[in-house]
Structure 1
Amino acid sequence: MTRKNQAITLSINEKEKKALESLALEFGKTWGDKPNVSKLIKAIALNQLKIAVNNDWNNQRIETLEKARKLLLDFGFILEAEEIAKILIERSEFKNMFSSREIEQFLDKPKPLWRKNIENFIKRQQPFKLTYQDASERLWNFTVIHGQLRIIEKHQYLVCTCQEAEGNQDIIELKHNWTFKLDRIQEAVVTPVELSWQPDLDMIEVQFKVYRGLAFAYSKEEIKQDDIFKGDIEDSPPSRLIIRNVWSTFWFFREISNYWNDCEIIAPESVRQKFCQKLFAINAMYAENPSQDS
């Protein structure tokens, strides 16, 4: 004798129904490729999804974030404004204070389905396979076991750790990390895979010192993303030790190269030597090709 599931009736309007279906899709509660509200509610009941208070922000915080969003738009920082809009649209306080129509339209600008799938998989911590074709019509396949969407130099990137490492020029500890500029991918296929999600990117601790004026300037800044230690200022010359979790030597070198001799990599030796190789290559290029005016 089979036992039938008990049914409940939800008294909701069409807009609320669509909102629940959207959440079901976002959290992977589907029947085939269609959203399944029953699975969503069951996941909440089983504490697989947590319900949090969503009306405990004061008015000043909401108003400040909305002003920041509009200022970012005015200065052309679209991606940053989008991130703030996502925070605001989820808050019940915002809908009580402002019309959410403007933000909904701002966020509803069409996105490719593969982009939405990547965002959903990351949110659900679901490993996935990314297949895309580059400008040279080469086909690339990556199995992503950890991914983050990061804004780097005003562009949005998928930063991820993959099973694949072939062709990666980074040091051995970071060879499985890849960075994809999303607006360069015109079309892609994104599908889930049955693997375990890695809790973070592959990282190594890098120690570096900042000298002279930069040592003082660094003390006035907020701790930068991935910094895990900021030492006190030492004298002769003034210096400060920084320890940072680094997931890509390419992006790390790109940042510190702005500081020239005001920054020195201390450890590990593999990262220090890789940076030295770049400096030697630059020196050789200038030595072999002297200016015609010299």
Structure 2
Amino acid sequence: MGRKGRSITLSLSDKDKERMEALALHYDMTWGDRANISKLIEAIARQKLKIAPNHDWSVERINLLDRVRNLLIDAGKMEDARAIAELLRSRTELTIPLRQQLEQFLERDVRSWRLQIERYISREQPFQLSYQDAADNLFQFTIHHARIVPRNDRQYLDCWCEEISNSDDLPDLAHNRTLRLDRIIDATVTPAKAIWRKYLATVEVEMLLYGGLFFNYSSKQGRDLLVERLEDRPQTLRVVRTITSSFWFMRDILPYGADCEVIRPAGLREKMGAIAQKMQQRYTTQD
């Protein structure tokens, strides 16, 4: 927010950004002479900005703040999202459906350990937790870096852990884990004496794209390091990308089928080859 480690990136449209900046200027939330949206959200979250109930907020402003609330939820910033929901709920201009939606959101059980995890992440404080996987196996993890990531209607903790036993990822990614938030065991999140890492572990992946992907592939901003057409191979696109998890990478490219070929690292190419062979066996074996 206003400090190192508290920044929030929201995918606002240019128009919404202008409106949020106008709101920040209205309440004197600035950095120098410029409007500061993060400072505005921080003031709301810390209840430094208190506005008496009235009837002069436009529908446009209310809808804007509700969109920001939803973006904060997607970013895993539940405390900030709840603060904005509380502010909106105090207004008398809300429609009945929106008020009911906010009431339902605020009535949800936001467990204390979830909020504690958010605080540890924002403060760059390593922590420990207990985790139960789908097979009911219990694990203890010491977390040196983490971020909350929404995927497929669930929220996950992408993290760098000391413990690498039972990891089936590539050796360079063995410290990285993806934990479902709803499988973290209550009352087990505690601070750890360790050094916070700035990032997850990463590896570079090289792949070749063929067929329709050659024409239609959209570069993954922030992940693709190189996208180029190969002059010596017609209709072939070479892509170099950084990944933090082979599982999620394979989930991403498997729909491409034979139009995507992983070249390196060798371990990941072998994984993809094994999947392709198993699929071939499934479809060629007759009962």
Deviation at 1:265, TM superposition (A): 1.0
Question: Which residue of 1 is the match for residue 163 of structure 2?
Answer: 164
**Gapped regions of structure 2 (runs ≥ 5):** 7-28, 38-57
Give the equivalent residue in structure 1 for 2:225.
229
Partner of 2:143: 144
Partner of 2:153: 154
Contact 1:144–1:162 (Cα < 8 Å) also in 2: yes
1:67-125 per-position Cα deviation (integer Å, ceiling 9, x unaligned): 7569x7xxxx99539769947967xxx99x99799697535632111111111111111
Q: 1:266 aligns with which of 263, 267, 271?
A: 263
Q: Identify unmatched segments of 5+ residues in structure 1.
A: 1-22, 28-50
Taking the aligned partners of 1:241 and 1:85, their CA distance within structure 2 comes to 42
TM-score by length of 1: 0.63
Deviation at 1:238, TM superposition (A): 2.1
Q: Does 1:257 align with 2:254?
A: yes
Change in 2 beyond 3 A, CA 1:149/1:161? same
Q: 2:239 corresponds to which letter in structure 1?
A: I
Query: What residue in structure 1 maps to residue 10 of structure 2?
Result: none
Task: Give the match for residue 126 of structure 1.
Answer: 125
TM-score by length of 2: 0.65
Contact 2:263 2:269 in 1 (8 A): yes
SS of equivalent to 1:257: helix
Q: Secondary structure at the match of 1:169?
A: coil
Distance 1:142 1:88 in 2: 28
What is the rounded CA distance, in whole Å, between the counterparts of 2:213 and 2:241 in structure 1? 16
Q: SS of the counterpart of 1:131? A: strand
Cα distance in 2 between the residues matched to 1:131 and 1:56: 38
After superposition, give the CA deviation of every residue in 1:28-82 in whole Å (9 maximum; x if it has no partner). Answer: xxxxxxxxxxxxxxxxxxxxxxx9738446x9x9788557569x7xxxx995397
Q: Report the equivalent of 2:176.
A: 177
Residue matched to 1:247: 244
Query: Against the structure 1 CA distance between its residues 120 and 197, is the aligned structure 2 distance closer, same or farther, given a 3 Å change threshold?
Result: same
**Whose Rg is larger?**
1
Which residue does 1:282 correspond to in 2? 279
TM-aligned CA distance change 1:158 to 1:129, over 3 Å: same
What letter is aligned with 2:175? H
Q: Structure 1: how far apart are the matches of 2:160 and 2:265?
A: 21
Q: Where does residue 197 of structure 2 map in the other structure?
A: 198
Instruction: Give the counterpart letter for 1:191 in structure 2.
Output: T
CA distance in 2, matches of 1:98, 1:259: 50
- Kindly state the Cα deviation for residue 130 of structure 1 after the two structures are TM-superposed: 0.7
User: Quick one: structure 1 residues 65 and 230, their matched pair in 2 at CA, closer, same or farther if it must change by over 3 Å?
Assistant: farther
- Output aligned runs, 1:60-99, within 5 Å: 65-66=64-65, 68=67, 80=74, 86=80
Number of residue-to-residue matches in the alignment: 232
Q: SS at the partner of 2:188?
A: strand
Change (3 A) 1:85 1:176: closer
Q: Residues 79 and 155 of structure 1 are in contact (CA less than 8 Å); yes or no, is this contact kept in structure 2?
A: no
Q: 1:139 to 1:86 in 2, by over 3 A?
A: same
8 Å CA contact 1:82–1:107 kept in 2: the answer is no
The answer to whether the 8 A contact 1:174-1:203 is kept is: yes
Q: Percent identity?
A: 31
| RMSD over equivalenced CA pairs, Å | 4.2
